[in-house]
Structure 1
Amino acid sequence: MTERLRPGDPAHIGGHRLLGRLGAGGMGTVYLGRTDAGALAAVKVILPEYAGYEEFRTRFRREAEAARRVDSPWAVRVTGADTESETPWLATEFVPGPTLPEIVARYGPLPARSVKVLGRLLARALAAVHAAGLAHRDVKPGNVLLAADGPRLIDFGIARAADATALTATGLVVGTPGFLPPEQATGSGADAGPAGDVFSLGALLAYAATGRPPFGSGAVDALLYRTVHGAPDLDGVDDPALRALLTECLAKDPAARPSAADLDTRITEVVPAGGASASWLPEDVVRTIAERSAAMLALPDIDATVGDAAASDTPEPRPAPARRRFLAFAAGGAVVALGAGGLAAVRLWGDGADGRSGATTAGRRWVIGVHADLTGNQKAAGRAQERGVRLAVDRFNSRTDKPFTLTVKALDDRGDPARAEEVAEEFARDPDVLAVIGPTGDAATGAALPAYDEAVLPLLTVSSLQIAYAARVNAAFFQASPSYAALSLPIVTRLLRSPGAGRLGILIDRSGGQAAYQAGYAANLMVPGLTGGTTHPRVVPAGATDLAPVVADLLAHRSDALLYAGDAAGAARAARALAATPFKGPRVAQHTAMRPEFLERAGEAAEGWEFIAPFTGADMAGGDTASASARPAADFAAAHRERFGAAPDAWAAEAYDVAGLVAREAAALVRGAGKSGAEKNGAGKNGAAEGGSPTPTRSPGTAPPGASPSGDGRPGRAALAAAIAASRYEGISRTYAFDAERQQLVARDAHLHRVEGGRFRYVGPAPQPKG
């Protein structure tokens, strides 16, 4: 379904009047547009921050050229493009239908006949792609739209000529884990051509027939391993002919797979003449396609944009959807389906015995939730965040001018995505929860997002740092720390602005999953444009035990600065291997490796290693670089020691900041939307310490209504989300302000840590590029 245009969206792109948003991803936004002749189109626009990178522009140019060469009724047709303009764009025909994952998530697996017809039509689309001398390289369920007249294969973003040179470095996986072929999953640089597309089509059809990806879901490295070494899960495919066909398509050896043209002739299921009838699909699916098509074609009024007229009042928040919207396919390709089970096994952490975080008024209790991993692999980060939130609530409740009293409700997801869904459902059902801080990890965040999104419940994460997440209907999710890719900016700045450094060796360890891949890949792209330097990237498989040959290769290629992207164990192996060489240059490891395990395993080899992290440290007030927030940071550290008997761990200050932001905006809404920004921001010198901010956080007259529909004065969730989105908050860790498009941090502040004397020491704010 379309979303309203936002104030920062353009009104026109390349002769298209923009009517609404169809979605947004890591690299761009897709709009619903209409030409002067009345034709509808899906207009993909590259984000400004990527348009300046020649490699991204080259990739976008290639996408347009590739898509123009494909001639098939089952592949979306390009209707226009401008890859050279300041704002590059690509327009394709508009298909008003749901994606395959939406249908499977809602109705379950498709019957065998439907899967066969789907396979035959998509095979024809791929045959046209291959006839044009191309390979699609990202065939997956999310790239299939179901329309009344048949399916459409979309998104040629990484398609390339079968004999072309890849833009990515050898060893970097391109495609969607779980649906890419073994030759891509190994990252060996082997060509993933037309045979690879057939493998991906087999995985897609297996998903359609069973309701689950054939190589499971979960961590990326585990998915890649199962793709290369494991047998596909075809349980539930009872039709012998279909099962045999899927088995051939999913053969590990590319030469053993049929071609796309062969599939068209081997699948004997009759396709409706001209594709004019959707009778090959179950009746309820046909009905949904018709309803979606009708809804999408009932175009909204033309939205006012900044380019048309100045925005006046903030539009009222849209109500939550009437039923669960299954937003399928996050990065790993797994369908997100919310469980209906209760929270019997979910640990509930109550308030402290002293009652400071649990004080309530005579009226209803108003709650800030903490969704965290409190007992799993990330329990240290989860507990630190819970403590930070409790301190922020203590601070707020100690104020004499507070309009209400807050309490904390903490739920443990144990780092389990399935349990994270249950935790999100529990918070969503509790009407007293104003906002939630968390979750701790990437997988838990992806699993929990649909429940929070449907409830329009503000969710602020400080430690889930993916570049992009599954599409959302409501703008209530805030990524309150720079992403893995954004953190590459200060990493590159730190390394290549060191004296004598000009070539960056990058070691991407797949043990670090998507976090390592995103950080390493982004650093590889940034170096030439940011510093004029060069790179030498290397990728090692998860679990590699001997990194000495890789380190030797990096040094043999004249690397005078090193970046390790991966986990703590791998960083320790890299440190020991490097210590056995004469190398004395700067070396930085990704913050995901900044754990006690690194110090224990690396020993003396850990000395001098640095980490660029989105979090501060226990000694954050005493770093090498003076900070305007030094005094509030010292006050926070002292309060943490008094309250919990220990110095604050990583992520505590960040959780303290965002909880303080939520409390301040909720209080401002309760005090009245008609007051000026200065009145609502409070008189304190520091937002984190006093609940205020020295400057107004939004333009006068744009604050949303604050009371809940029930009239009890509680801030409405949608209103609070809009207030957070428009705010600017000076925390002790960084300044918090979010872009209007993706609710990600505008600032890329990070922090520098160094190993000295066998411990992590906070150095100060990380260096940022000049200009």
Structure 2
Amino acid sequence: MTEKLTPTDPARVGGHRLLARLGAGGMGVVYLGRAESGELAAVKVILPEYADRTEFRTRFRREVAAARRVDSPWAVPVIGADPDAPAPWLATAFVPGPSLAEAVAACGPLPPRGVRVLGRLLARALTAVHDAGLVHRDVKPGNVLLAADGPRLIDFGIARATEETALTSAGMIVGTPGFLAPEQARARPASPASDVFALGCLLSYAATGRPPFGTGAVDALLYRTVHDEPDLAGVTDDTRAFLERCLAKDPAARPPAREVAEILADDTSDEDLDWLPDAVVRLVAERSAATLALPDIEATALDARADGRPSDGQPPDVPSDVPADAPAASGPVGRRRFLLLGGAAALLAAGGGAALWATRRDDDGTPSAAPPRARRWVLGVQADLTGPRKALGQAQERGVRLAVEQFNSRADKPFTLTLRTVDDRGDETRAAEAARTLAADRDVLAVIGSTGDGTTGASLDSYDEQLVPQLTVSSAQSAYGTAQPRHFLQTVPGYTNLPVTAAFSLRAQGARRVAVLIDRAGAVPAWEFGRTMFQNLGVIGIAGEPRVVPRLAENLAATVAEMVAHRPDGFVCTGTPARVAAVARALARTDFDGPRVLGHPAAGPEFLTAAGAAAEGWQVFAPYIAPSAAPVRAFATAHRKRYGAPPAYWAAEAYDVARMVITRLVEAGGRPSRQQLYDLLAKGTYKGLVRTYAFDEEHRWWLKGYETFRYEVKGGRYSYAGKADA
């Protein structure tokens, strides 16, 4: 997907007329450019602050040299570069298809034959990489682009020659967790065998729709990569056999890339491929059609005319015989469509009749088949309304609905806001479908949701692909899968933030030696909360004594007894409500009488019921405020009037987030595009009832701050003790 050029973008780079942005990262911007021959290119331009660093320029020069040494039809070729330019740049052939990550997220796993063709051709690309004396080091779904005639391996930015000294720091892990080899996870040098392991991970993902070592926190991914066996459930027997060889822990046991290509060879020639399912072929065709429908070239700072007036943005190679009063299709856009028509038509023909046209574009730059009409202003909600977390989902939906209704009741409202709600039932497959449904509605400006971590992660790619701002109220993981979300905002302190206030509170209560029990049955929330709690205790001078129990461990009482024998004066436990309740009962049978902290994901009525009297005195540090607290009292009154009942936990937070979105929509001064709305949300600061919402400059989707609220179990219920201070 492309984005419009900004006024500060260059007009040309190295003979390429820039047409749009393809993406931006911490070190540079990738543009869609067109050479004088009409050939499209992905042009990577490095930011000046990095170009001025000698070490970085050396690394970039190495990247260019590495990419030029790879000769394979299945690796995207370099078509131009200048590592010594004031703003160093690298141009590679442009592939309009989606990445493998996008295709699997949108269309599901590839069929067995598609996986084998993918593996064969990528193995040939890696053979070329290794024959050139290089190691790619980051083979992952996001670095594989799909086209009708086969895949393309991209991004040699961290590839390096096997005989060279690495420019990265000692102990640095290079690659993408979940798609790197055990030796890389241990921060050891990568080899061609490491690329083969990553290829095995990638093909397992293509076959099943999930990484073989799961998702979640980086530390957990690295641990599973080194110690656990891959999850190959759902992989066909013939594919499983060679994947197990590729995923061997010992690099010497893995086949070389050339052998992988031979293992996967069949009777199909590389020139006669029919390997992608229809849904993916249509996605490839749609991407090509979207390229044809590029917006008019935006005037940039470097397009200024000599007289100081902005130029019309028309590239110099537009034919001089185009009439000045010709319709728009005869100008720059029409010419780009003409130049691209041949290649795109072939892709569309392969797509089984997908339509090729671009008569109108929505205000966020995406093609639309609908005739012009009055646009609705729609706010989406994706939540678990009927599944295992329906109480939480229903509370959030009510909070958002109340905010929308209050706004629509204003006499001075500049527009009327419509609410569209989709129930994902807490199921990841349904969550992905729900996200695709909401994202496909061009009137939806933003979506609040989903309720849980798994459903939120399953939704990210669909919203990202359509540039939809997604704001989660209650999902607090530090990572989702392997991709960095680009249009996502986490409006809740993360599981790794909450232990900060809990650790300081334990110190204030006199604790100097704290036992930390991390139950892996609690999945990512338990791991992130427990591990970060242990780290924070050390930072503030408290001795932490951690224990990690497996998900299937049964005798938790023995673990508790062993931990208490070390005489701690504080106790922290994370896990599921039922298993933490078992720990609470076991702890109550000992002589321990210090403060006890329960990780908030396990706090709920289930813990109180299962723990009984043993729950008394346990403390919870949670990101949600009590519905009866003074800051949200007016909201609670309005909620009771609207729904006939007081609000539940998490309703006030959802109300806050909805009001923040509405405020940004009003401030936009007109209907914003989805990207514009995301930028307003990500860069702004909003003072809500519960907390102040502002987001991290580097990790743009992380909420700043540690606003946490303390509860203590008294009389069989969670008693609100106010805001906890770090």
TM-score using structure 1 length: 0.60
1:255 and 1:474 mapped to 2: Cα distance? 32
Cα deviation 1:148-199 (Å, max 9, x = unaligned):
9974687989xxx9xxx9999xxxxx9856x689x99xx99xxx99989765
Q: 1:477 aligns with which of 461, 476, 488?
A: 488
CA distance in 1, matches of 2:402, 2:599: 28
Task: Identify the residue that residue 650 of structure 1 maps to in structure 2.
Answer: 649
- Between the aligned partners of 1:45 and 1:485, the Cα distance in structure 2 is 33
Provide the rounded CA distance (Å) in 2 between the counterparts of 1:602 and 1:196: 48
Deviation at 1:8, TM superposition (A): 13
What residue number does 2:426 align with? 415
Aligned to 2:594, what secondary structure does the other structure show? coil
Q: 2:544 is matched with which residue?
A: 535
Question: Displacement of 1:590 after TM fit?
Answer: 1.9
Q: Does the alignment pair 1:731 with 2:695? A: no
Q: What is the alpha-carbon distance in structure 2 between the residues aligned to residue 43 and residue 463 of structure 1?
A: 36
1:592 deviation in Å? Answer: 0.7
1:415 and 1:7 map into 2 onto residues whose CA distance is: 43
**Correspondence 1:319 to 2:364:** yes
Whether 1:766 aligns to 2:724 is yes
Is 1:515 the counterpart of 2:525? The answer is: yes
On the 8 A contact 2:117/2:264 being kept in 1, the answer is no
Q: Give the residue type in structure 1 aligned to 2:521.
A: S
CA offset digits 1:352-374 (Å, max 9, x no partner): xxxxxxxxxxx997544332111
User: Given residue 737 of structure 1, which amino acid in structure 2 is its aligned partner?
Assistant: A
Matches of 1:535 and 1:156, distance apart in 2: 38
**Structure 2 counterpart of 1:446, one-letter code:** G
What's the counterpart of residue 705 of structure 2?
A: 747
* Cα distance in 2 for residues equivalent to 1:607 and 1:534: 25
Alignment check: 8 A CA contact 1:372 1:383 kept: yes
Distance across 1 between alignment mates of 2:384 and 2:483: 23
Question: What displacement does 1:763 show?
Answer: 1.2
Residue by residue over 1:400-425, the C-alpha shift from the partner in whole angstroms, topping out at 9 and shown as x without a partner, is: 44445545443211112232233334
- What SS does the corresponding residue of 1:370 show, helix, strand or coil? strand
Larger radius of gyration: 2
**Residue 245 of structure 1 pairs with residue 242 of structure 2:** yes
AA aligned opposite 2:523: G
Tell me how far apart the structure 2 counterparts of residues 44 and 144 of structure 1 sit (CA, whole Å): 25
Deviations 1:734-768 (A, max 9, x none): 11233456243233312112211111111111222
Q: Match for residue 435 of structure 2?
A: 424
Change (3 A) 1:198 1:454: closer
Contact 2:119–2:261 (CA under 8 A) maintained in structure 1? no
Counterpart for residue 345 of structure 1: none
Conserved 8 A contact 1:30-1:43:
yes
- Find the residue that maps to 2:387 and give its secondary structure: coil
Q: 1:199 to 1:602 in 2, by over 3 A?
A: farther
Q: Which amino acid aligns with 2:426?
A: G
Change in 2 beyond 3 A, CA 1:638/1:201: same
* One-letter amino acid of the counterpart of residue 589, structure 1: L
Give 1:330-729 correspondences, 5 Å limit: 367-430=378-441, 433-469=444-480, 476-501=487-512, 503-528=513-538, 530-555=539-564, 559-621=568-630, 630=631, 633-666=632-665, 668=666, 704-707=668-671, 717-729=674-686
Closer, same or farther in 2 for the Cα pair 1:535/1:371, shift >3 Å?
Answer: same
1:571/1:721 CA distance change after superposition, 3 Å: same
Paired letter, 2:688: G
CA RMSD of aligned residues (A): 6.2
2:243 paired with 1:234: no
The count of aligned residue pairs is 608
Report the TM-score, using the length of structure 2 for normalisation: 0.64
Q: Which amino acid is the alignment partner of residue 204 of structure 1?
A: L
Is the 8 Å Cα contact of residues 511 and 567 (structure 1) preserved in structure 2? Answer: yes
User: Do the aligned partners of 2:204 and 2:243 also contact (CA within 8 Å) in 1?
Assistant: yes
- Matching of residues 218-297 of structure 1 within 5 Å: 228=229, 232-235=233-236, 244-249=241-246, 257-258=253-254, 260=256, 263=259
- C-alpha distance in 1 between matches for 2:257 and 2:437: 50
SS at structure 1 position matched to 2:120: helix
SS of corresponding position for 1:658: helix
The structure-2 alpha-carbon separation of the partners of 1:595 and 1:114, relative to structure 1 and needing over 3 Å to count, comes to closer
CA distance in structure 2 between the partners assigned to 1:505 and 1:155 by the alignment: 44
Give the one of 96, 107, 115 matched to 2:119: 115
Distance 1:40 1:555, change over 3 A: farther
Identity of aligned residues (%): 41
Residue 598 of structure 2 aligns to a residue whose secondary structure is strand
Structure 1 residues 321 and 744, CA gap change in structure 2 (3 angstroms): farther
Q: 1:318 to 1:404 in 2, by over 3 A?
A: closer
Contact 2:664/2:677 (8 A) holds in 1: yes
Question: Where does structure 1 lack aligned partners over 5 or more consecutive residues?
Answer: 10-18, 34-38, 47-62, 80-90, 169-173, 271-276, 305-315, 325-362, 622-629, 669-702, 708-714
Give the secondary structure class of the aligned counterpart of 1:520.
Answer: helix
Deviation at 1:569, TM superposition (A): 1.9
SS in 2 for 1:460: strand
In structure 2, C-alpha distance between the alignment counterparts of 1:404 and 1:265, rounded to whole Å: 58
